[in-house]
Each structure stands twice: as C-alpha cells, then as structure tokens.
Chain A
Amino acid sequence: MNLSELIHEFILALIEPGILVGSIGTVSFINTANSAFSLGLVFTCISLLYFALNADFIAAAQLLVYVGAINVLIVFAVMITDQSVSSDSEKCGIGYFTALGACSILFLTIVCIFHKLNDFYSSSIHQSEYLKLNLFEQNDVQNIGYQLLNKFLVPFELASLLLLVALVGAINPARDED
C-alpha cells in the first residue's frame, strides 16, 4: 500500500469507531438527552465518511440537513418534554427478541450483498473500466448545479414552491388568531 491508501485507511479507522460508539450510545443511554447528542455524533461521523469517499456535496448536505436541522429538532423535542428517568428499560421481553431477530436478518442480508458485490467489482475488467471514468477530476457541486438548472428544472422549482406552501401550512394551525 502506498501512502495515500495508508492515510485513507487511517482516516476510515478513525471514523468507523465513532459511528459504532455513537450508535451504541444512542440506543443504550438511559437519559434521552445523552442519546440525542450521540445521534448527532453518528450523523457527523457519517458525513466525515462521505468526505473520505470524495462525495463532498453529500457530506455538506448531510451536515446541514441531518446534524443542523434534524438533530437540532430532536434535541429540542427531547428537552421540551418533561421526562423522568425510567429505569425499567432492561427487561428482555418478546419485543426485544423480535427486534433482535429482524435486525440480525437485515445485517446478514447486507453482509451477503456486500460480499457478492465485492466479488463482482474486484474482477480486473471492472476495475480498469472504473479507473477510466476518472471520477476524481470532476467537480461534483458544479455538475449537480448544472443538472438542477437544466435537466431537473421542473422538480427544482416545484420544490421551492413546496417549501413556500409547507411554511404557510405549518404556520397556519400554529398562529394565534384574534
């Protein structure tokens, strides 16, 4: 392995434990505020992962949307609700085993899919084609902007109208009328 691959592996080795620790913390903290903050840690590490995979637009979008909006909303909601710390969350009922079964099946499915894809993509023919695409030279954000204003103009403008209507609709039930 040359230096760049080494650095890449090193960065990934830093980010992945962050995701694991954050998600375990989200599930197992008893205090809900701690759980919400560790969810923020998970989202931040995922966006760092996107940076390491050279998808800078998605990384920025993840930071803005997930960490900046969704996680802040979750933290607000947690802090507004008046909660006493519950201590009976250690029971292993039937729901526990059902969720365990469903999650392990999902996990095994994903592992199998990744194995098959790994075999498929590491054949030499495919790798040479992939390198020919030369993805590292493109400017993602410029490309996305170009496509948004040309090919996907109608959904783009429609999404802006959707935001307007969503704002009006959200304020409408909430405002105080005389």
Chain B
Amino acid sequence: MNDINSFLSRLNSIINFSTILPKIILIVGLITIVITDLVNKGKNANFLYKIFLISTLVSMGILFYQLISVIAFEDLYTNNTFNNLFRFFILICSFISVLLSVDYVLCSKISLVEFPLFKISAGLGGMILSCATNLITIYVSLEFLALSSCFLSGYTKRDIRSNEASMKFLLMSGASSSSLLNDFSLLYGFSDGQVQLDNIIDKILFSQYIPIICISAAFILAGTAFKLSLFPFHQWTPDVYEGSPTPVVAFFSVTSKVAALCLFTRLFRLIFPYLSNEWHIVVELLAISSMILGNLIVVTQRSFKRMLAYSSISQIGYVMIGILAADLENGYASMITYRFIYIFMNLGTFARITPFSLRTGSDNIKDYAGLYMKDPVLTFSLVLCLLSLGGIPPLSGFFGKLYLFWHGWKAGLYLSVTVALVTSVISIFYYLKIIKLMLTKTTNLVDTLKTYENQKSLVSSIISTKLKSSVEMAMILCALASTLSGLFMDPIIKITRNTFF
C-alpha cells in the first residue's frame, strides 16, 4: 500500500513537471499517427502530416514559453539554457523538414505513414540526447536517433542507391556507437560505478589513471565524430547524402548534426576539463582538416547533393572553432548562433533542390543551367541561400561566420581562423559557380529543363493546393530567415550567451 501511495505521489509530481512535457507531446503524436493509420487504412494522408505538424508546433510552443526552469529527473537530465536551445533547434528542424517532404513522399508513391513516424522518432531521440546527462540515456537516445535516421535514409526501397546509403549508414553508425559504448564502459569502470556525467569526473580525479582518460577521449572522439562527419570519420557523408531521398537528407543533415554537436560539447566539457590543452589540439587538427578537405573536394563535384555533403563537412570544421573558443563570459554563443543560422540556410537550399529534383528527376549541377528563365522564384531563393552559406555580407551567414571567427581569433586560435578564412573564399568560389550557371541565359537549354514546365503542371494537378504550397512556405521561411537573421543577430547572441556549464 505504501508503494502504491508513493508511486501515485511520484506520478503527480511527474505531471507537474514541464521539462519532459514537450517530449511527451511528441510521443503522443507518434502513437496517434500509428493508430490513425491503422484506423483509416491508408486513406487521408494529409491528416497524418497535420498531426505531426501540430504536435511539433505544440511542443515548440511549450518549450518556448518555458519561463520556469523546473529541474525534473535530476539524475537523468537537467534543464539549462544550453539544453533548451538545442531542443528548440531540433524541433525547428523537424518542422521545416516535414514541410518540404510532403510533396516528395506523395509523388514518389512510397508508403506514407512511416515517414512522419520515423521523423518524430528521430526528433525525439535528438531532443532527449540534447539534455541527457546520464551515460545510459545518452547511449539509448543516440541509438534511437541513428536507427530512425537509418530507416529514413533507406525509405525509398526501390532505389538501389537508397539501399546502399542506408546499409553504409547502418554499418558505420554501428561501428562508431560500439566505440562510444566501449568508452562508456571504461568511464563507468574507472569512476567506481558512476553513470552520471557529473559524478564521473569527481571520482576519476582521485584516481591515478590519467592515461585511461586519454584512451577514453580517443574513443569518444571516434564515436561522436562520426555523426558530426569530422575529418577521418566523414567517409559516409557523401554516399549517404547522395543516395537517400532529398527531404531525408535535409532532415538529418541538420537534426543529427545539431544533436551530435550537443553531445560532443557536453562530453568534452564535462569529462575532460583538465585535459583541455590536449584535446584542443586534437580537435583543432580535425577541424582544420575537415575545412580543407571539404572545401577542396567540393570543387570537383557534379551532383548537387554530394556537393552539399562536402560543404556540410567543411561547415562542421567552422563550428568546431566555435566550440574551442568557448569561454566564461560568452559561453558557446558563437557556435549556437552559427548553428541556428546554418539550419535555415541548409534547409532553405534543400527546399529548393527537392522541387527541382521532383520536377526534372535529376541531381546534376549542370542541369541547373539557365534555371532563371524557367522559374525565377526558385532561382532567386536558391541564390540567397547559397550566398548565405558562402558568407556574403548582407546575409546572415556572413554575420554568423564573422562572429565565429572573431571569437576564435580572440581565443587565440590563429591558425584555425586563417585556414577557415581561406577555405571560406574557396567555398564562395564554388557557390558562385553554381549561381552563375543558373543565372546565365543559355540559348540551347539542357534537355531536362525543356520538360520542366510540363512536369510542373502534372505535379500541381495531383496534389491539392494546400500541400503544394507547404514547400513554398518552407522556402519562403528559410529565405527570410537566412537573409534577415543577420539583422536580428544581437538578440540571438544575447540569448545564446549564458550557455557555459
């Protein structure tokens, strides 16, 4: 009887806590989708997407208005600004990427239900990863995210490249998470049975096994750098990006990188505060190599998605500078701000590629030639997003990069910032190459573009107008965000400032 009473009081306190409420809403949305599809037997696909969007919006709203910071489940995760920001980002990513995937899924005639299911579960995994401080929760949520992303990337099962992409992703993510698990078992053993990240450093400090910490740092790096696609662990990125369906690439190019960044920062900050010189050097080396490699290889690419894969590898190099430059008064402001802007830039670019590849079925950069004549809206917004990725002044990418590099220079990372500046110039070169290709009027159009107009009308007759405009809504949202965020930079920086822990 006593147990029942205490359990009921615990249940009451659980309901009163607002920390896990956004996640509970996502879980409820997930279950509702499954049950709705069972009941409706495949009809009424719009409704499922609306459920997804509504649940994401509601949890975003709750997270946004969370004024009272309640510390719930103290053993499992805490509730500080760092966590909240990352969770908010993941929700934004999920929301926008579903907006731009509706068209694609309907057109390619693949099964409709599991798509929002996997997206919700990946978003859920990312959210719990962002605020986990327990080794076990970190591992389970990381596996959740990886597994859902893997299913998403193999979603178009009739496409051979999609099968190849999901096999590669599954195998390599399995290898990297086994390395991470190995490291967690090392940390668990040497901290005398502690699973909480805070308690681990307390216990390890009193032991003499400093080389053990170095070994475990190497394992953690191998495990988390895979998801971030840092330099030696980036090999999966171009193949998986090229093979998976485009809206899926949009989704996990932002979501899993945001979640993995949060994990990386937290692990290295909490566990190795006394080895900061050593791991700074290693991370700096990896960042420089990622930047150089990403920006040099991308020049030779012929496929748009592969090019975006290599450019995301180099963007991670820039973000690593932000992690290394964190100090007491500014926290991780530069990294988080750049990440926020990067979400919109990246999703905006994908929001343009998706309708293009739907209408013409091609991914080659050469097929974008002369797009200006056929579809000026798409061209103009793609130009904006690409310039923002490159870092041209009035757009927000410039302000993000400026803040990042200024922070890095102030923290004394002279070599990294110099390399980053040089490679940014290289990146501007290849973005401008694409833009020039799109904007020049060619007399003999590429064959794919000749059929552009026809297919566009075919698409719009199949889908109702509501769905057709969702991609355009995402497009406009991202274009606005990537241009105007630069003006609203100051309040964003102010919010992201107190994130040091």
* A residues at B contact (CB < 8 Å): 151-155, 158-159, 161-162, 165-166, 168-169, 172-173, 177
| B136 part of interface (Cβ distance < 8 Å) | yes
Complex CA gap A153/B13 in Å reads 14
Q: Would B111 and A154 count as touching, CB distance under 8 A?
A: no
Q: Which residues of B contact A158 (CB under 8 A)?
A: 125, 128, 137, 140-141, 144
Q: Would A165 and B151 count as touching, CB distance under 8 A?
A: yes
Q: Would A151 and B157 count as touching, CB distance under 8 A?
A: no
| B164 part of interface (Cβ distance < 8 Å) | no
Complex CA gap A162/B118 in Å reads 11
Q: A165-B148, A169-B151 are in contact. Are A159 and B140 (CB under 8 A)?
A: yes
Distance to closest chain A CB from B321 (angstroms): 33
Distance to closest chain B CB from A152 (angstroms): 6
The A interface is mostly helix, strand or loop, or mixed, namely: helix
Give the nearest-CB partner of B135 in chain A: A155
Q: A158-B141, A161-B124, A169-B151 are in contact. Are A152 and B136 (CB under 8 A)?
A: yes
Q: Would B147 and A165 count as touching, CB distance under 8 A?
A: yes
Q: Which residues of B contact A162 (CB under 8 A)?
A: 140, 143-144, 147
Q: Which residues of A contact B239 (CB under 8 A)?
A: none
Q: Among residues 122 to 179 in chain B, which have CB atoms less than 8 Å away from a CB atom of chain A? A: 124-125, 128, 132, 134, 136-137, 139-141, 143-144, 147-148, 150-151, 154-155, 157, 163
| B117 part of interface (Cβ distance < 8 Å) | yes
Give the nearest-CB partner of B14 in chain A: A153
Distance to closest chain A CB from B139 (angstroms): 8
Q: A165-B151, A169-B118, A177-B111 are in contact. Are A155 and B157 (CB under 8 A)?
A: no
| B473 part of interface (Cβ distance < 8 Å) | no
Q: Which residues of B contact A161 (CB under 8 A)?
A: 27, 30, 121, 124, 144
Give the nearest-CB partner of B150 in chain A: A169
Complex CA gap A27/B212 in Å reads 33
Q: Which residues of A contact B134 (CB under 8 A)?
A: 152, 154-155
Interface centre among B27, B132, B140, B157 (most CB of A within 10 A): B140
Q: Would B114 and A153 count as touching, CB distance under 8 A?
A: no
> Which of B27, B141, B147, B157 sits near A166, CB closer than 8 Å?
B147
Q: Would A168 and B137 count as touching, CB distance under 8 A?
A: no
| B429 part of interface (Cβ distance < 8 Å) | no
* B residues at A contact (CB < 8 Å): 20, 27, 30, 34, 73, 75-77, 111, 114, 117-118, 121, 124-125, 128, 132, 134, 136-137, 139-141, 143-144, 147-148, 150-151, 154-155, 157, 163
> Which of B27, B124, B154 sits near A173, CB closer than 8 Å?
B154
Known A151-B76, A168-B34; 20 more pairs at CB < 8 Å? A152-B76, A152-B134, A152-B137, A154-B137, A155-B136, A155-B139, A155-B140, A158-B125, A158-B137, A159-B140, A161-B30, A162-B144, A165-B117, A165-B118, A165-B121, A165-B148, A168-B114, A169-B148, A169-B150, A172-B157
Q: Would A155 and B114 count as touching, CB distance under 8 A?
A: no
Give the nearest-CB partner of B128 in chain A: A158
Complex CA gap A88/B429 in Å reads 56
Q: A165-B151, A173-B157 are in contact. Are A151 and B75 (CB under 8 A)?
A: yes
> Which of B111, B128, B137, B140 sits near A172, CB closer than 8 Å?
B111
Q: Which residues of B contact A177 (CB under 8 A)?
A: 111
* 10 A-B pairs with the lowest CB-CB distances in the bound complex, closest first: A169-B151, A155-B140, A173-B157, A165-B121, A155-B136, A155-B137, A154-B76, A162-B144, A158-B140, A172-B114
Q: Would A168 and B117 count as touching, CB distance under 8 A?
A: yes
Q: Which residues of B contact A172 (CB under 8 A)?
A: 111, 114, 151, 155, 157
Distance to closest chain B CB from A6 (angstroms): 32
Q: Which residues of B contact A166 (CB under 8 A)?
A: 147
Give the nearest-CB partner of A159 in chain B: B140
Complex CA gap A152/B155 in Å reads 32
Complex CA gap A129/B147 in Å reads 44
Q: Which residues of B contact A151 (CB under 8 A)?
A: 75-76
Give the nearest-CB partner of A170 in chain B: B151
Question: Could you jot down 29 A-B contacts, CB within 8 Å?
Answer: A152-B76, A152-B134, A152-B136, A152-B137, A154-B20, A154-B76, A154-B77, A155-B136, A155-B137, A155-B141, A158-B137, A158-B140, A158-B141, A161-B124, A161-B144, A162-B147, A165-B148, A165-B151, A168-B117, A168-B151, A169-B114, A169-B148, A169-B150, A169-B151, A172-B114, A172-B155, A173-B154, A173-B157, A173-B163
Q: Which residues of A contact B114 (CB under 8 A)?
A: 168-169, 172
Q: Which residues of A contact B148 (CB under 8 A)?
A: 165, 169
Give the nearest-CB partner of B10 in chain A: A150
Q: Which residues of A contact B143 (CB under 8 A)?
A: 162
Distance to closest chain B CB from A44 (angstroms): 24
Q: Which residues of B contact A169 (CB under 8 A)?
A: 114, 118, 147-148, 150-151
Q: Which residues of A contact B139 (CB under 8 A)?
A: 155
Q: Which residues of A contact B141 (CB under 8 A)?
A: 155, 158
Q: Which residues of B contact A165 (CB under 8 A)?
A: 117-118, 121, 144, 147-148, 151
Give the nearest-CB partner of A177 in chain B: B111
Complex CA gap A165/B151 in Å reads 9
Complex CA gap A168/B115 in Å reads 11
Give the nearest-CB partner of A171 in chain B: B114
Give the nearest-CB partner of A156 in chain B: B140
Complex CA gap A156/B335 in Å reads 32
Complex CA gap A74/B211 in Å reads 38
Q: Which residues of A contact B27 (CB under 8 A)?
A: 161
Complex CA gap A155/B148 in Å reads 16
Q: Which residues of A contact B20 (CB under 8 A)?
A: 154
Give the nearest-CB partner of A149 in chain B: B7
Q: Which residues of B contact A152 (CB under 8 A)?
A: 76, 134, 136-137
Complex CA gap A158/B150 in Å reads 18
Complex CA gap A157/B190 in Å reads 28
Q: Which residues of A contact B34 (CB under 8 A)?
A: 168
